[in-house]
Amino acid sequence: MHRTPSATTRVPLFVMRHTGREWTSGFGPSANGAAPWRSPGEARAKIKSGESIDLEKFRKLVRSYIERHHYKAAVFWADKVVSLSNGSPADVYWLAQSYYLTKQYHRAILLINGHKLTRNATCRYLVALCYYEVGEYHSALDILERSENNNVSRIKTEGEAIAVPEIDDTMSIDCSTHLLKGYIYEASDNRALAVESFRAAVQADPLCYEAIHALTQHHMLTVKEEKDLLSSLPLSRTCSEAESAVVLAVYETRTNKYSSPSTPLPQPAAPLATNADFITAQAEKLYYNCNFAQCHRLTQEVLKKDPYHTECLPIHVSCLVELKQSNSLNRDDNIPQLDPPSDIVGTDTNASDITSDITPASADDPLSDSNLLGTSIGQPVMHSSDVGRDSLSQSLAIFQAPVLDIHGPLFQPLGKSPISSMVTLIPVRRYQPLREPLK
């Protein structure tokens, strides 16, 4: 049955209107006087006629999404900003940064290389970092060394260096470059060059704790070398006298771990006495000085406030083993109930009864790996006159199992906590050595 439209119904009437210079198409007004539909072509024409796009608004939007961890949204809008700005170097960098945050490392490399921005130090570092993440260490090192080898042939091939003030920070990028080189050398088991790179990183930025941690956690320096490093830090370049005192105080807690922890804090750093990291560092020194009772008291204090403290947990467990209280781990409410992560290993805590007859492994032993276990706390690889070489090899194979991505029921928790009376979980540093050492 045919119906006649009412007076309030919109009737899509296709009309041609003359604007004075040309004919444009659209839907005509409805019976109720609504405005006609405007085509996308008309909208673009209006923008071209007078309005301009505020790219800063979209750039701030990309930064905002990155800060709020909406990385997919950041990639989407950063890609549009690059097109709208005709490939501005700063916009290309932020798109590559968004690719990195979404683990699209090869896309980031291709983007920066495609815009020929490896002549910029910040973009070059990001490319090297992407190569490092995918395990292409030689390519990463080659990119990083371009800034140091300013030969004439390279300049003729690639052109002069590009400065991008919006993203460049000379001190930070120098520190990051040396730090990344240190990690590359460390992954290739070249400790001498790794130490040199980490030292250069902390000299470039004395507040870079990551370099200090890399040097001290793996015992790369002697006690004298640690003191010389702290005394040589150019803190006056970036810090006041009071700030320098705080920096040295917190760094000293990370160095010389075998010394007495009774050193008083300077006045500006006095509030750090209740800091969880500071207390953990004190507990570690107490452990190395065989003061297990006081060490246990401090680790308990930390775990009550922060049961997920990753540095305190292995010290707490090792201390309980030394105190012959490993069974209390099943009843310890301070231990979080977590699934074992992919970078933990198991040790038989019942072996603590024979520790008096065992000596630590020699540094010259090919079976001992200084990077596999970052600290000697709870270190299971040991020599004994009563333990055969085959048994030692089997033990080492067990500890290397997680590095080979072999996970199974062997490391499942036996009680309510992931750390039981049978198994102690110790964080280790995972890495895959290169076939050929870097030189």
Please name which of 256, 275, 209 lies closest in space to residue 265, comparing C-alpha atoms.
Answer: 275
CA 436 to the chain's CA centroid: 25
| Range of lowest pLDDT (13-22, 125-134, 217-226, 415-424) | 415-424
Domain containing 290: what range?
Answer: 270-335
Q: What is the pLDDT of residues 12-22, one digit of tens each?
A: 434 444 444 44
Range of 15-24, 34-43, 187-196 with top mean pLDDT: 187-196
Domain membership flag for residue 36: no
Is the pLDDT score of 242 beyond 60? yes
Provide CB contacts within 8 A for 271, sequence distance 6+: none
More confident residue, 321 or 149: 321
Residue length of the chain = 439
Residue 3 corresponds to which amino acid? R
As a whole number, mean pLDDT of residues 40-49 equals: 51
Give the model's pLDDT for residue 433: 45
- For residue 314, tell me if it sits in a domain: yes
Residue 294 within any structural domain of the chain: yes
At residue 438, the pLDDT reads 58
Q: How far is CA 58 from the centre of its chain?
A: 27
Provide the token pair at 103.
Answer: 């683990």
Contacts of 57 (CB under 8 A, 6+ apart): none
pLDDT over threshold 70, residue 143: yes
- Alpha helices (runs of H) in 85-159, residue ranges in sequence order: 89-101, 105-114, 121-133, 137-144, 152-158
* 185 φψ region: left (φ > 0), alpha (ψ -120 to 50), beta (else): alpha
Quote the tokens at residue 11. 């009737």
Asked which of 54-63, 300-309, 418-427 is least confident by mean pLDDT, the reply is 418-427
Please report whether residue 18 resides in a domain: no
- 292 within a domain of the structure (yes/no): yes
pLDDT of residue 357: 40
Q: What is the pLDDT of residues 84-126, one digit of tens each?
A: 999 999 999 999 999 999 999 999 999 999 999 999 999 999 9
Per mean pLDDT, which range of 128-137, 338-347, 382-391, 430-439 is the poorest? 382-391
pLDDT of residue 344 exceeding 50, the answer is: no
Helices (H) and strands (E) in the chain, counts: 17, 6
CA–CA separation, 174 and 204 (whole Å): 6
pTM: 0.67
11 lies in some domain: no
* Percentage helix, strand, coil for the chain under 3-state DSSP, each rounded to 5: 55, 5, 40
Question: What mean pLDDT value characterizes the chain?
Answer: 74
Closest CA to 435 of 149, 191, 135, 201: 135
Measured between alpha carbons, how far apart are the two ends of the chain, in Å? Answer: 88
CB 332 within 8 A of CB 417: yes
Beta bridge partners of 24: 17
414 within a domain of the structure (yes/no)? no
- C-alpha of 163 from chain center: 26
Q: Tell me whether residue 108 is in a domain.
A: no
**Domains in the chain: how many in total?**
1
Q: Is the pLDDT of residue 179 over 60?
A: yes
Q: Is the pLDDT of residue 40 over 90?
A: no
